[in-house]
Amino acid sequence: MYELFFQKFNEKVPLTLEEQEQIKTYLTPKKLRKRQYLLQDGDVCKSIAFVEKGALRAYTVDENMNEHIIQFAIEGWTISDLFSYLTAEPATYTIDALEDAELVLITRAAHDELLKTQPKYETYIRLLITGAYIALQRRLTSNISLPAEERYTRFTETYPDIAQRVPQHMIASYMGLTPETLSRVRKKMAERR
Amino acid sequence: MYELFFQKFNEKVPLTLEEQEQIKTYLTPKKLRKRQYLLQDGDVCKSIAFVEKGALRAYTVDENMNEHIIQFAIEGWTISDLFSYLTAEPATYTIDALEDAELVLITRAAHDELLKTQPKYETYIRLLITGAYIALQRRLTSNISLPAEERYTRFTETYPDIAQRVPQHMIASYMGLTPETLSRVRKKMAERR
DNA sequence: AAAAAGCCTTGACATTTGTCAATGAAAAGG
DNA sequence: CCTTTTCATTGACAAATGTCAAGGCTTTTT
């Protein structure tokens, strides 16, 4: 347990074994079955989840009952409704498992305690969020400046693993397209070769 | 000089006067005239810029010479090509002044030094980026899940100051629309009241 | 003051994307 | 093994957005 979590942590901020043990006491393991919720829209998000195994997604549901996928998370990634987590306001996202999953949770209380007692944890979080911010900025840039086909191509090139593991209608949702539109975009691409 | 910078800093992380003086030695003031570049696409981004006065924008130019605005920054905001800044790779964004501006720059060298010597600086940066991440996630969520009109309404409600200061075609660009489309969306909204 | 440039709007038309409905294939569940 | 659900695709049509061109108004520059 926690192998991948500490591997990723050490890549960002090297830890001694003692530090590792100390941090471990703040972590909570959790298993999720496929389709189970980690967070439901309206609840307060109580933890950041690191994915040791499996796949999750965060999404919103609009007034027409259409789902819009905000984020995928597979092994080595982290997922949460950060705003709700930090402010304790009701979440606007729902998070559930796309496959059976093993998670490492950092509760809000653990997070606060670690920030106080372990400077390397703050550095880890800073680097984690910085990376997430840069990735998000890239995605937004694609979204406002590229046509659907180009966005799809870049997505499959950037995240080939996700493109293979999740249903295409979810990728469409992630890109802000309907499943029909993505299907037609793919058809056009195929016809050209 | 630096009044607003330290006001915002203190709101996030309270500083003693000594700490403030220490940090001040790492800051660089800079004035920009309207239309002047802070960063040109292809150069390495050498600093994070805090806006004391004026207004800037970050944008990309696509192969059809269309500009796509990534971010606005007015008084109290921070702007940079963070990826280029942190990796020292060529910037993909251009940043220029929409109005005459006064900036506080944190160079990469100053940033590294401050991270090493001043724990409160790391906390400030962590909170800064966390806020930027949450705002960006909101924007992306709007972009993939809301129609143009609703996005525009939310934008003007969230950033009324920017909506008034910046030409409408730039707001269109920020939302991923053409100026003509935004003009028509606004017309429809006006006709309904 | 005149000229130039920037900005917003509008019309006509093209392209992209969405909606609704139907189908068949594959996967999941009992 | 059979049933049900999920998924991807396709067609016909509607709605949203983009493109191109023009005009008028304002601001900037000379």
B24-59 pLDDT, tens digit each = 999 999 999 999 999 999 999 999 999 999 999 999
- Residue B10 and residue B85 share a domain: yes
> Where does a domain end: A145, A162, A178?
A145
- Residue B77 and residue B91 share a domain: yes
- In the structure, how far is the CA atom of residue A184 from the C1' atom of nucleotide D14, in angstroms? 17
Provide the number of structural domains found in chain B.
2
Q: Which of A55, A77, A90 is nearest to A135 (CA)?
A: A77
Backbone angles phi, psi at B68, to 5 degrees: -130, 115
Other Cβ atoms closer than 10 A to B11: 11
Report CA B73 to chain centroid distance, whole Å: 4
A125/B126 CB distance under 8 A: yes
Q: Is A94 helix (H, G, I), strand (E, B) or coil?
A: strand
- Residue B125 and residue B154 share a domain: no
Nearest residue, CB atoms, B60 vs list A132, A133, A141: A141
Q: Count the alpha carbons within 13 Å of B181 in the hemisphere toward its beta carbon.
A: 14
pLDDT exceeds 70 at position A112: yes
- Residue B30 and residue B100 share a domain: yes
- Residue A192 and residue A169 share a domain: yes
Other Cβ atoms closer than 10 A to A117: 11
Spell out the residues 6+ positions from residue B58 whose beta carbon is closer than 8 angstroms to its own: B39, B69, B70, B71, B73, B79, B80, B81, B93, B94, B95
Average pLDDT of B110-116? Answer: 98
Please, are residues A92 and A40 in contact by the beta-carbon 8 Å criterion? Answer: no
How far apart are the CA of B130 and the nearest CA of chain A, in angstroms?
A: 6
- Residue B182 and residue B102 share a domain: no
Q: Is B154 helix (H, G, I), strand (E, B) or coil?
A: helix
Residue whose structure tokens are 């993939």 = B144
In chain B, DSSP finds a helix count (H) and a strand count (E) of: 9, 8
Q: pLDDT tens digits, residue range B136-190?
A: 999 999 999 999 999 999 999 999 999 999 999 999 999 999 999 999 999 999 9
- Residue B163 and residue B74 share a domain: no
Please, are residues A100 and A165 in contact by the beta-carbon 8 Å criterion? Answer: no
pLDDT exceeds 80 at position A192: no
Q: pLDDT tens digits, residue range A66-108?
A: 999 999 999 999 999 999 999 999 999 999 999 999 999 999 9
- Residue A94 and residue A126 share a domain: yes
Model confidence at A160, in pLDDT bands (50, 70, 90)? very high
Please, are residues A48 and A80 in contact by the beta-carbon 8 Å criterion? Answer: yes
Model confidence at A193, in pLDDT bands (50, 70, 90)? low
| Helix residue ranges per DSSP H, B88-118 | 108-117
A176 DSSP assignment: T
A136/B137 CB distance under 8 A: yes
> Where does a domain end: A145, A163, A185?
A145
Q: What is the domain range of residue B193?
A: 147-193
Model confidence at B65, in pLDDT bands (50, 70, 90)? confident
Average pLDDT of B80-101? Answer: 96
Model confidence at B63, in pLDDT bands (50, 70, 90)? confident
C-alpha distances in Å from residue A83, one per residue of A72, A89, B54: 17, 8, 29
Q: What percentage of chain A exceeds 70 in pLDDT?
A: 99
Q: What confidence score (pLDDT) does residue A63 get?
A: 83
What CATH number corresponds to the domain at position A11?
2.60.120.10
- Residue A164 and residue A73 share a domain: no
Q: From CA B130, how far away is CA A125, in angstroms rounded?
A: 10
- Residue A159 and residue A125 share a domain: no
Model confidence at A1, in pLDDT bands (50, 70, 90)? confident
- Residue B73 and residue B165 share a domain: no
Q: Residue A186 is encoded by which pair of tokens?
A: 């793919």
CB pairs under 8 A between A and B: 88
Q: What percentage of chain B exceeds 70 in pLDDT?
A: 99
Calculate the average pLDDT of chain A. 96
- Residue B184 and residue B89 share a domain: no
